Amino acid sequence: MLIDSHCHLDHYAPAELPEILARAAAAGVGEMVTIGTRLGQSETIRALAEAHPNVWCTVGIHPHNAAEHAVPTAEAIAALTAHPKVIGIGESGLDYFYDKAPRDVQRENFRAHIHAAALTGLPLAIHARDADNDIARMLQEERAAGHEFTFLLHCFSSTRALAEAAMAMDGYFSFSGILTFPKSPEIREIARDIPRDRLLVETDAPYLAPVPFRGKRNEPAWVAQTAKVLAGIHGLSEADLADLTTANFRRLFAKAAG
């Protein structure tokens, strides 16, 4: 069984979801995590997870949305995680490519999510784009300050420097359809060097459809394409890669392990 560790089911029309979930099941995708990007949508995200036994969810504020409201306290974020279907914090992080929120606000928001992860013991799903140095520095600062937390660099497409910093902190890495793109040899080389017990797969659906579906609207079923490429990189069968990434998911998202 494969698990799509990061998707956005709220971006589909409700009437579409039964068919999307059926196609995922047919492709061997047994579970998925629908991701929070605004605290105000937490009830909607949670309702999606409640409605489907194989769907989990997270709560958090995407860096694009960090300036829409006052940055919440870590305690306010943590308070939204009591529900049994909420298994992680995020996605949060830094995005200096689009700069949709001021960078100081993004950093304040990211730090609040790190603290929420430490408070709850839930893993933090991190969005990193063109901000690798600050991501690494802030994670290292928070660890040095005594905050214990686990984290996942979602949709990894960053530099080797960030990968090495994250590996030194026992971080996890999730690979998306970007891994399958012809112009992503550096990402495949980094994926090769990630310890196997730190690997996950995702779609980030409806974005970033993998080859051979690139350019189409992505969906959880297609995580199988990314898994196939990742299996080849590590010299594993597709079945072994599925078993490996599912075990890693259960270890990281321990609340989903029951």
pLDDT band for position 29 (cuts 50, 70, 90): very high
Domain, as residue range, for 241? 2-257
Residue 226 has pLDDT above 80, yes or no: yes
Given a contact cutoff of 8 angstroms between Cβ atoms, the answer to whether 62 and 127 are in contact is yes
Residue 258 has pLDDT above 90, yes or no: no
Phi-psi sector, 208: left (phi>0), alpha (psi -120 to 50), beta: left
Q: Tell me the mean pLDDT in the region 169-186.
A: 98
Number of domains in the chain: 1
Burial of 102 (0-12, 13-18, 19+ CB in 10 A): exposed
* Strand arrangement of the beta sheet that strand 199-201 belongs to: 2-7, 29-34, 55-59, 86-95, 124-129, 151-153, 172-175, 199-201
pLDDT in tens, 207-217: 999 999 999 99
- CATH code of residue 73: 3.20.20.140
pLDDT band for position 34 (cuts 50, 70, 90): very high
DSSP per position, the chain: -EEEEEE-GGGS-GGGHHHHHHHHHHTTEEEEEEPPS-GGGHHHHHHHHHH-TTEEEEE---GGGTTSSPPPPHHHHHGGG-STTEEEEEEEEEETTT--S-HHHHHHHHHHHHHHHHHH-PPEEEEEES-HHHHHHHHHHHHHTT----EEETT--S-HHHHHHHHHTT-EEEE-GGGGSTT-HHHHHHHHHS-GGGEEE---TTS-PPTTSTTSPP-GGGHHHHHHHHHHHTT--HHHHHHHHHHHHHHHSGGGG-
pLDDT in tens, 87-131: 999 999 999 999 999 999 999 999 999 999 999 999 999 999 999
